[in-house]
Structure formats: structure tokens, C-alpha cells
Amino acid sequence: MICKVCQKEKPVISKILEVCSECIRNSPEKTKPFIEKAHQESRKPFNLPPFPPSAKEGIKCKICANECKISENELGFCGLRKNIKGSLLGPTYKEAKVSWYLDPLPTNCVADWVCPAGTGCGYPEYAYKPGAEHGYYNLAVFFHACSLNCLFCQNWHFRELTLKPETRSIEEFLGALTSKVSCICYFGGDPSPQLPFAIKASEKALKNKKNKILRICWETNGLMNKNMLKKVIELSLSSGGCIKFDLKAWNENLHIALTGVSNRKILENFSFVSQYIKERPKVPLLIASTLIVPGYIDEKEVKDIAEFIADLNPEIPYRLLAFYPHFFMKDLPLTSKELAYRCYEVAKKAGLKRVSIGNIHLLS
């Protein structure tokens, strides 16, 4: 396909963006119209704002780091909160647009290769067994909203539920916790737009655990309000859980192209969490992952991300994930084995000591 900016034939260009990764990285102003058009098209079917609103006279939502300024009768970027007569109405800490299910351990968690559920690290304080926790469960908690708009979203169907009125209560959540649940993992979508619920639910669950192991874990894009992130860290540190950041791109314009939002606050948050690693060295607190999107997330992006992580702490586990065509990037190919292993070598060379390739069965 020919890039609409440089007019060069490139092996992999997504139809939704129409421009290549080089132009996105090097020519932000020229690629901006294509990026904006892509996100407008991808949000329209779900009646969601194309970008985080920033109305001068709007009300600021402080739940996530997008800090949308929402005008009268308009929605925030995640679609959960609306400005009605000068008040932001939407889910509170008492309820959330969320679903959950019991997932037998060990599961295909991003952190399964380093966490207590998959390896037994932290036994006996944070794990029931010195190895994988067969016979126990993860309560997988899926939030039906997100603070990003990834054009390659692997769980894009949640958008069909974001604007529906149905919510679940903390009491319902607590009722799903059986004696065999040893960890709770919040994902989605993303937990960031509904952190008040997740934090309050976790506090109640830990209070009721009756001397049982109950790790609080997060799979997130990292776009969290700093004050709430402090509570997230506290919950995971005390329970033996981990915080898994999906670092989707290093270059800011490429991140905006793929997700609709800058990555500056995400990287700031990742750095902030890394300061707490020393408080619990036996069980990894912070884990990073990157989806290798053909044509866009390549060795250069992985190298820059890996160097950033290594500068913070070379022991931070980093997992590279294989891409499967989804959502508005169905036209892209699977991640090739060659690209995945080149990225692996680049990450190791950058100084990281714990690098892994996940979803190997998806590699072409």
C-alpha cells in the first residue's frame, strides 16, 4: 500500500490510518489529519467522542489522567460520565459497568511467567504453592470502558456495553469471591476510568479475606490519576499482587495514532510505580508488555521502550506480545517469528534481564 504522506510503497500500512510508521514518527503535522480521521471513524459506531474533550467552559473529570473537560450534555472520552446541568453524572465507587468470571489458575495472564499464581514466587506469604497454583482461581474483572481508543483493540466489543445503563454493585462483586480465589485481576477495557469502584471493592475484599491469600492485580494502559495510582500501588504491594502496564508505543505521535491519546502521563506513571519495587523484591510489583503491531510497533519502538525500562530498573519483567488482527486493524498480518525474536534481542541488548515472548502460538 502507498503511504498518503511520503507516497512510497510500504509493505504494511493499515487502511484506517493510510500512513506509514516513519511518517507518523517524523512528520506529525502532515499525518495529523489522517490520525484524526481514523479515530473519528472508529468512534462513530459507538457514539463516543473521537478525542478527550477539552471544552473551555467544561467540567473537569479527575478520575483518569485524561482529565476530560466536558461541556453541557456531552460525554467524556471513556463514555461513562456526562455533564448534565453542571454536574458530572455516571458510575461512582458504589457501582461499575463491569463483568467478571472465575479463571482457573495458572491462567494466560501477561504476568504468569513471573507472578505467584504461575510460579509460586513469594510462597508461602503470597502464594498457596511453591509452584503454579493449580486448584485455585483468578477472579477476572472486566471493565466495560477505556481511557484509550486502540485501533487494534483485542477486546473491542466492550464498547457496545459502555453506554448501556446496566451496572454491578460492590456487593455483587464480593459475592463472586469464593474461598478458592487467590487473586483478583482488573482489566478490560481498562480499570482507569472506574478506579473508585476497583479500589473500594479491593479494600472490602481484603478486609473480608479471613487470613487467606488474595492478591490484587491490574492489567492497565497506565493512564491513571496519580492520587488513585498511589492507592493502586498500596493495594498490590500489601497483597502480593502486581501492576501490569501495557506500553503500547514510545514515540508520542505514534502512540496518539494508535490509541488516540498521548503516552506522556503513562510513562510518568510507570516511572512512579518503579520507585516502589524495592519495597517488595521477592514478588514483581511492576511488569511491562508491548503488543508488536506489524508495520507500526517495530524494533525501534521496542528498543526505546526497553531502554526506558532498563534505566528505571533492569529487573522489571518485560513481555512482548504477538498481534492478532482485530477491530479497525483487521487488515494487518500476524506478528512474524522473525520480528518477534528481533524485538526480543533488542530488548535484551537494551539491558533488560527478564524478557519474554507471549502468545507464541499466534506468531506466523
Which triple of cell numbers denotes residue 174? Answer: 464480593
Q: What is the pLDDT of residue 210?
A: 85
The amino acid that residue 231 corresponds to is K
Decide if 344 contacts 357 (C-beta within 8 A).
yes
Query: Residue 119 — φ and ψ, nearest 5°?
Result: -125, -20
Interval 180-202 mean pLDDT = 97
Q: Could you read off the pLDDT of 189-199 as tens digits, one per residue?
A: 999 999 999 99
Q: How many residues does the chain have?
A: 364
Binning pLDDT at 50, 70 and 90, where does residue 317 land?
Answer: very high
Q: What is the pLDDT of residue 215?
A: 98
Domain ranges of the chain: 95-362
Interval 224-248 mean pLDDT = 97
Q: Which sign, positive or negative, has the C-alpha torsion 62, 64, 65, 71?
A: negative
* DSSP run (H or E) holding 328: none
User: Is residue 78 pLDDT above 90, yes or no?
Assistant: yes
Q: What is the mean pLDDT of the chain?
A: 96
Q: What is the pTM of this model?
A: 0.96
Decide if 23 contacts 5 (C-beta within 8 A).
yes
Exposed e or buried b per residue across 323-361, where buried means at least 16 C-beta atoms within 10 angstroms of its C-beta = bbebbbbeebebbeeebbeebbebbeebebebbbbbbee
Interval 234-253 mean pLDDT = 98
CA 145 to CA 194: how far, in whole Å?
8
* Nearest Cα residue to 138 out of 116, 121, 158: 116
Interval 71-88 mean pLDDT = 95
Q: β-strand 137-143 against 215-220: which pairing, if any? A: unpaired
Which triple of cell numbers denotes residue 293? Answer: 503491531
In CATH, what is the architecture of 95-362?
A: Alpha-Beta Barrel (3.20)
For residue 312, the SS3 value is helix
Q: Could you read off the pLDDT of 251-284 as tens digits, one per residue?
A: 999 999 999 999 999 999 999 999 999 999 999 9
CA 197 to CA 29: how far, in whole Å?
39
User: Is residue 108 pLDDT above 90, yes or no?
Assistant: no
Q: Could you read off the pLDDT of 4-41 as tens digits, one per residue?
A: 999 999 999 999 999 999 999 999 999 999 999 999 99
* Nearest Cα residue to 247 out of 203, 277, 286: 286
Q: β-strand 286-292 against 59-60: which pairing, if any? A: unpaired
